[in-house]
Every structure is written in structure tokens, then in C-alpha cells.
């Protein structure tokens, strides 16, 4: 019998639970409005631009990073809610102002880039205006996605830049004018558009796009079925299925939240049905899903930042990460097996499991892009 697991789409109750605890998931239902098509065209255009830049190059580094940040800000203000309890599906008027500002900061960088290259660090009043707009928009986007902690830390460091001359001891420095601070943050590749954005605009975006395409094409379902076929019959099978499925899925998305939603929606109920306590089932799924952050090749984008910062080839980081990732998941599997043995828990009967070869024949072609990568 080749019963497959539920489809990749998580049940509504799982989505509601994630939205309750994860700010990034609290988005507007803009896709059901008249703005769905324009926003889709914009997002597809951004994806095509990023692919073109990766293959053939494009505008200068600062301009490219400005386009990347400006486009991401547009999507952020269109989709992310201003307040957590906001119920409207379309952006309010002030979000449209933010969207216009996001486009403006990207266009302005492209227009004045030639002047910036010969200005020798000198700036004009209009530069300060656009710098402030960019800084405010980035801080607001960070607040919507991550909460207040990150923007507050950023503001504190900006204050430190200004009041450095008043700081004691090792914390003292000569300080900078506010005009200089904000223009440095916006009109150089050492502020907002530094290493992190450089990696995001070249590698991270493409790998996230790659993972999203794979998942929407059925890769998540393929991983689920393979894990079920390999470990479902073993002692305490559903928990081992959760570990393997989360490890497989973590290799292409690197997101613990997405991992939990995709695999936990069916593995946690299965674990509870065979006798695992609900808290242990949740712990297994969360531990296995978090491991996606160290599972090559995506690794939650950390590998790309490490490669750029340390000057180490990305392939080398991926190779040395394999052993720690395997040991991590092996440790979880051992704990699961010991718990199943101590409680006398059995696996799922073979007739209720998909066959490995049937799964490979049906969806094995989905592995080709991952192997090519």
C-alpha cells in the first residue's frame, strides 16, 4: 500500500498556531485582493532580476544592493502588518508611503551613484534626506518582522556613534555628526549595504528561491514519504520519521518554523497515537526542525555569511558541516530509540507505509536539482 502523508499545505490550525508565536508569519491576506497580481508580477520580476545578476552581472555593487533592499522593503510593507492585531487585507495609506519611499531610495542611489564615486565623502542635503528615509524604513521593516529588540539595538548603536566623545574609557571615540552617520549608513557598502546585504543579494535570495520552488513542486511531500518508508516500521517509528523528515526538509529551507509547520503537522499526531507523550513529541519535532540551521546546503543562510566574512569557499563550509549535522540528528535518533524501547512503543505496520521504490519512481526526479546544487 502506498498511502502518502498529507500534502505540503499545512492544516489551518497549524498556520494559526505559527502566526500566534512567529511574527514573520503574521502577514496580510493581500493575495486575495486586487493587488495580488501586481505584487506577484513585482516579486517575479525581482526573482528574474536576481537570477540575471547572478548569471551575467549588472549595475555596480552599491546600486545592486540598493535595488535588492528597496524591492524587499516594498514586499515587506505590502505584506507585513503594521500592528500584530491588524485585520485589513490591503496596506493602509502610510504603508503606501513606505512603499513609495522604498522605491525612491533604490532609484536615488542609481541616479547619484556616479556623483558619489567622485565626491570624496562629501554629501549634500538631499543625500541626508534620503539617508534618513532609508534608515527609518529599514528600522520599521525590522520591527515588523522581528519585533522591537533589533531596531532598539540599532538605534542604541547609532546614538553611541554620535555620543562617542562622551563615553568613558575604552568606549570613548571622537564621535560623528548625525549627517555623517546617516549618509555613511546609506551611501556606502559599509553601512546598511555591507556584507550581510551583499550575501543576501547574491546568494541567500537565490537559495531561498531555489528551496521555495522545490518545496512547492512537491519536495516536502517527497521527503515526508521517504522518511515514512525508511523509518515508519522501526521501533517508535513516527518519532524517527519526524527526525528524518525534518532533516531532509531542513536541507532545502533552513527555516525551523517552516520545518515545524510542514512536518510537525502530521508527525506530532502520529507520535501521540503510538504512545509518545505530547510534550516529548513536540520536543522531538522542535529539536529536529531547529537542526535545519546546520544542515547543508542551505544552513539557514549562515554558511553564506561565514563564507563572505571569513573568505572561506562556501563548498568548504558545506563539507565540514556534514559531520556535525549527521551527529546532531544521530543523537536525536538515539534518544528517540531509547525512549521507544523503554516504553515498548512499536512502529507503523508495513501495509500502511509507502514503499521506498514507489516513492522514488513517483518523485525521485525532484532530487536532481538538489544533487546538481
Q: pLDDT tens digits, residue range 45-74? A: 999 999 999 999 999 999 999 999 999 999
185 and 226 share one domain: no
Q: For residues 361 and 87, what is the distance between their CA atoms, to the nearest angstrom?
A: 45
Q: Which of 166, 190, 214 is the last residue in one of the domains?
A: 190
211 and 185 share one domain: no
Rounded to an integer, the average pLDDT of 282-302 is: 85
87 and 119 share one domain: yes
Q: For residues 142 and 206, what is the distance between their CA atoms, to the nearest angstrom?
A: 21
233 and 169 share one domain: no
Q: For residues 324 and 330, what is the distance between their CA atoms, to the nearest angstrom?
A: 10
Give yes or no for a contact between 250 and 291, defined as CB atoms under 8 angstroms apart. Answer: yes
297, part of any domain: yes
- Percent helix, percent strand, percent coil in the chain, to nearest 5: 75, 0, 25
CB atoms near residue 144 (< 10 Å): 22
Q: What domain range is 131 assigned to? A: 33-190
Rounded to an integer, the average pLDDT of 146-161 is: 94
Determine whether 205 is exposed, middle or buried from the number of CB atoms within 10 Å of its CB (0-12, 13-18, 19+). Answer: buried
Q: What is the pLDDT of residue 69?
A: 97
Q: What is the pLDDT of residue 88?
A: 83
311, part of any domain: yes
Q: Which of 190, 211, 227 is the last residue in one of the domains?
A: 190
DSSP state of 176: -
Mean residue pLDDT of the chain comes to: 86
Q: For residue 152, give Cα distances in angstroms to 73, 85, 155, 165, 239.
A: 19, 22, 5, 21, 40
Chain segment 102-123, per-residue pLDDT in tens: 999 999 999 999 998 888 778 8
236 and 351 share one domain: yes
CB atoms near residue 91 (< 10 Å): 22
Q: What is the pLDDT of residue 175?
A: 86
182 and 205 share one domain: no
170, part of any domain: yes
Give yes or no for a contact between 110 and 67, defined as CB atoms under 8 angstroms apart. Answer: yes
Q: What is the pLDDT of residue 23?
A: 60
**Closest alpha carbon to 286 in 243, 325, 334:** 243
Q: Is the pLDDT of residue 181 over 50?
A: yes
Q: What is the pLDDT of residue 165?
A: 87
74, part of any domain: yes
CB atoms near residue 16 (< 10 Å): 10
Q: Which of 155, 190, 225 is the last residue in one of the domains?
A: 190
> Confidence class of residue 292 from pLDDT cuts 50, 70 and 90?
confident
Give yes or no for a contact between 46 and 300, defined as CB atoms under 8 angstroms apart. Answer: no
Q: What is the pLDDT of residue 18?
A: 57
Residue 2 main-chain phi, psi, to 5 deg: -120, 50
Which range scores top for mean pLDDT: 119-123, 138-142, 341-345? Answer: 138-142
160 and 272 share one domain: no
139 and 219 share one domain: no
Q: Is the pLDDT of residue 2 over 60?
A: no
Q: For residues 254 and 371, what is the distance between their CA atoms, to the nearest angstrom?
A: 17
27, part of any domain: no
**369 or 54: which carries more pLDDT confidence?**
54
Q: Is the pLDDT of residue 5 over 60?
A: no
247 and 364 share one domain: yes
Give yes or no for a contact between 66 and 194, defined as CB atoms under 8 angstroms apart. Answer: no
Rounded to an integer, the average pLDDT of 182-186 is: 92
What's the domain count of the chain? 2
Chain segment 192-238, per-residue pLDDT in tens: 999 889 988 988 888 888 877 877 787 878 888 888 888 888 888 88
Q: For residues 208 and 150, what is the distance between their CA atoms, to the nearest angstrom?
A: 22
Q: What is the pLDDT of residue 22?
A: 59
108, part of any domain: yes
Determine whether 196 is exposed, middle or buried from the number of CB atoms within 10 Å of its CB (0-12, 13-18, 19+). Answer: middle
165 and 215 share one domain: no
209, part of any domain: yes
Chain segment 231-273, per-residue pLDDT in tens: 888 888 888 988 998 888 888 776 777 778 778 887 888 888 8
315 and 170 share one domain: no
53, part of any domain: yes
174 and 251 share one domain: no
Amino acid at each position: 500500500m502506498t498511502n502518502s502523508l498529507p500534502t505540503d499545505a499545512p492544516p489551518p490550525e497549524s498556520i494559526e498556531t505559527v502566526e500566534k508565536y512567529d511574527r514573520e508569519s503574521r502577514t496580510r491576506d493581500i493575495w486575495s485582493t486586487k493587488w495580488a497580481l501586481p505584487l506577484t508580477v513585482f516579486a517575479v520580476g525581482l526573482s528574474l532580476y536576481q537570477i540575471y545578476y547572478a548569471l551575467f552581472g549588472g549595475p555596480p555593487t552599491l546600486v545592486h544592493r540598493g535595488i535588492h533592499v528597496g524591492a524587499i522593503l516594498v514586499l515587506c510593507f505590502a505584506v507585513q502588518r503594521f500592528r500584530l492585531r491588524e485585520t485589513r487585507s490591503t496596506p493602509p495609506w502610510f504603508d503606501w508611503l513606505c512603499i513609495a519611499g522604498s522605491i525612491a531610495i533604490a532609484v536615488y542611489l542609481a541616479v547619484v551613484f556616479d556623483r558619489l564615486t567622485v565626491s570624496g565623502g562629501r554629501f549634500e542635503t538631499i543625500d541626508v534626506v534620503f539617508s534618513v528615509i532609508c534608515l527609518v524604513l529599514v528600522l520599521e521593516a525590522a520591527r515588523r518582522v522581528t519585533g522591537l529588540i533589533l531596531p532598539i539595538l540599532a538605534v542604541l548603536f547609532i546614538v553611541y556613534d554620535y555620543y562617542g566623545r562622551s563615553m568613558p574609557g575604552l568606549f570613548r571615540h571622537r564621535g560623528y555628526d548625525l549627517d555623517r552617520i546617516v549618509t555613511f549608513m546609506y551611501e556606502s557598502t559599509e553601512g546598511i549595504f555591507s556584507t550581510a546585504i551583499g550575501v543576501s543579494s547574491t546568494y541567500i535570495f537565490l537559495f531561498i528561491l531555489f528551496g521555495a520552488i522545490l518545496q512547492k513542486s512537491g519536495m516536502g511531500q517527497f521527503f515526508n514519504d521517504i522518511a515514512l518508508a525508511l523509518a515508519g516500521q522501526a521501533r517508535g517509528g513516527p518519532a524517527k520519521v519526524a527526525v528524518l523528515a525534518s532533516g531532509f526538509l531542513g536541507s532545502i529551507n533552513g527555516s525551523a518554523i517552516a520545518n515545524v509547520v510542514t512536518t510537525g503537522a502530521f508527525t506530532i499526531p502520529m507520535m501521540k497515537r503510538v504512545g509518545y507523550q505530547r510534550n516529548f513529541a513536540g520536543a522531538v519535532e522542535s529539536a529536529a526542525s531547529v537542526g535545519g540551521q546546520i544542515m547543508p546546503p542551505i544552513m539557514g543562510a549562515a554558511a553564506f555569511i561565514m563564507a563572505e566574512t571569513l573568505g572561506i569557499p562556501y563548498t568548504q563550509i558545506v563539507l565540514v558541516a556534514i559531520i556535525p549535522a549527521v551527529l546532531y540528528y544521530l543523537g536525536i535518533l538515539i534518544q528517540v530509540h531509547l525512549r521507544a524501547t523503554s516504553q515498548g512503543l512499536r512502529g507503523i505496520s508495513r501495509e500502511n507505509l509507502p514503499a521506498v521504490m514507489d516513492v522514488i519512481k513517483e518523485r525521485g526526479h525532484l532530487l536532481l536539482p538538489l544533487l546538481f546544487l
